[in-house]
A and B are shown apart, each in its own frame.
Chain A
Amino acid sequence: MTDAPPKISLKNVKKAFGDKVVLDGVNLDVAVGESVVIIGGSGTGKSVAIKCILGLLTPDEGTIEIDGRDVLDMTPREREKLNMQIGMLFQAAALFDSLPVWENVSFGLLAEKRCGRDEARDIALEKMALVGLKPDIADLSPADLSGGMQKRVGLARAIAIDPSIIFFDEPTTGLDPIMADVINKLIVHVNENVGATALTITHDMASAKKIGDRIAMLYEGKIIWAGPPDDVDQSGNDYLDQFIHGRTTGPIKMAIRA
């Protein structure tokens, strides 16, 4: 990589909820334009890590830098400005159900007053077409859409502001395999053609290999392995092996609580 500072840099990030330590010193650099996928079991803190970067949670310790600037020291106004170049696809899409689909897609544009409502609607239709949504759903309420469609609307909303960083929280969960692949291709497209830096969290290995330039595995609050997708299968890391093959036996003990 070049001398430019990494787009996103996490150093020794720790976060605990009460006694439960979720992140225990996460270190991760994401270069400009790179697509990194964080994998890990349910409840290993993947979502917490993303929320810390987004500023929705404040880590207990450590630093998070975006474009070389410490985001934890920012004033709320600076933070808001930074958010203008960040897109996020939420796990359950998190669409605003008080607004029609097109207003959901163009919400960021309207919030930042980048354009008027007519133009925003045109941009919304354009972005919807990118994710394979027809214009005739533009005036529906998000609640009238299927889960897969909601996810695509969420994706359209995330890319509508032309972000330089985009986060995907379980982009393929709950979709059929074909739709999952459509979403994977879209993410690759956004990453390569738009040039956005992408950080995805998933436990769908097929998806991870398709969209990631680099895969990092989070286990017990730490990144225990990181490398290109091709190395995943012969990493020699027992934890990673167990995870990608979905075995119940191995070093990862599933805490089965009553």
Chain B
Amino acid sequence: MTMTLGFLQSIGRVFLAFMGTAGRLSLFTISATSHCFRAPWYFRIIGRQMIEIGYYSLPVVGLTAVFAGMVLALQSYTGFARFSAEGAIANVVVLSITRELGPVLAGLMVAGRIGAAMAAEIGTMRVTEQIDALTTLSTNPMKYLVAPRLIAGVTMMPFLVFIADIIGVFGGYLVAVYKLGFNPANYLQNTWNFLEISDVISGLVKASAFGFIVTLMGCYHGYNSKGGAQGVGAATTNAVVSASILILCFDYILTEIFFAK
């Protein structure tokens, strides 16, 4: 009897903790979002964050995209060759990159690069009382720290993904033309013909949503970190892991919304 009770208790405890976290996260999200729309805006910090997310993430996102495009071309070629559908690989590459792999891979890479950095920076500011110091200097930390990062994430991710799309398609082109012997003009024609504007737009909307998720997770875990260096480390891990899971989860949900008819 006591064993069953203990078992149920532990389930209940986990459930309550989960509900508590969900509630805190919701409140944080609402408060952070509302601060994005209310003055004052710290343009200097927004600008710095935009450069950090949009510009300095370019090499790592570009590299990911080029290899994703290359491997897609190679894989679909070997797969499609079995039923002589090699001609379709241009479509496969461009659709997978713009709809899925561009935003998802960029989102995951940015989660590792930016989400972790944000959690570590804000977490350190929390444990060294810098966030308290902000409050005493009549500066709302949600406005000063969180809102600029959210704004930068939401606005810069689509640009980043747009560039990643182009680089990814180019990667597929490289493999198709120089390794698999496709005619360059034909390949480009195929890429272009089957691409619809909605494919790109849906990918960019996803990118924006992922930018929100990554920066929100980085800020939330950093903001609520406690307990010195270890706490900051845990916050960083949690920021990356939760952002990655949420990206994949929302990727499905958004795809469902866009394309399920």
Contacts and interface: CB of A to CB of B under 8 A. Distances in A.
A90 interface: yes
B20 to A, nearest CB: 14
A80 B138 contact: yes
Contact of A83 (B121, B125, B129, B138): B138
A33 interface: no
B130 A86 contact: no
- How many A residues touch the partner, as a band? 20 to 34
Chain A CB count within 10 A is highest, among B121, B125, B128, B137, for B137
Interface string A226-257: 00000000000000000000000000000000
A51 interface: yes
B232 to A, nearest CB: 14
A90 B132 contact: yes
Describe B's contact surface by its main secondary structure: helix
Interface string A85-105: 011101110111110000000
A161 B136 CA distance: 11
B26 interface: no
A108 B133 CA distance: 10
A4 B136 CA distance: 25
Nearest to A154: B133
B135 A56 contact: yes
A157 B137 CA distance: 9
Nearest to A82: B138
A88 B133 contact: yes
Given A88-B133, A90-B133, A108 B128 contact: no
Nearest to B144: A111
Given A94-B129, A96-B130, A88 B136 contact: yes
A51 B136 CA distance: 10
Contacts of B138: 80-81, 83-84, 108, 111-112
Nearest to A47: B129
Nearest to A80: B138
B227 to A, nearest CB: 14
Nearest to A91: B129
B139 A94 contact: no
Contacts of A95: 130, 133
Contact of B132 (A76, A86, A94, A111): A94
B128 A83 contact: no
A108 B130 contact: no
Nearest to A57: B132
A219 interface: no
Nearest to A51: B132
A16 interface: no
Residue in A76, A98, A108, A111 with the greatest tally of chain B CB atoms within 10 Å: A111
Interface of A: 51, 54-56, 76, 80-81, 83-84, 86-88, 90-92, 94-98, 107-108, 111-112, 157, 161
The 7 closest A-B pairs by CB, nearest first: A94-B129, A94-B133, A108-B137, A88-B136, A83-B138, A111-B139, A84-B138
Interface of B: 121, 125, 128-130, 132-140
10 contacts: A56-B135, A80-B138, A83-B135, A90-B133, A95-B130, A95-B133, A96-B134, A107-B139, A157-B137, A161-B137
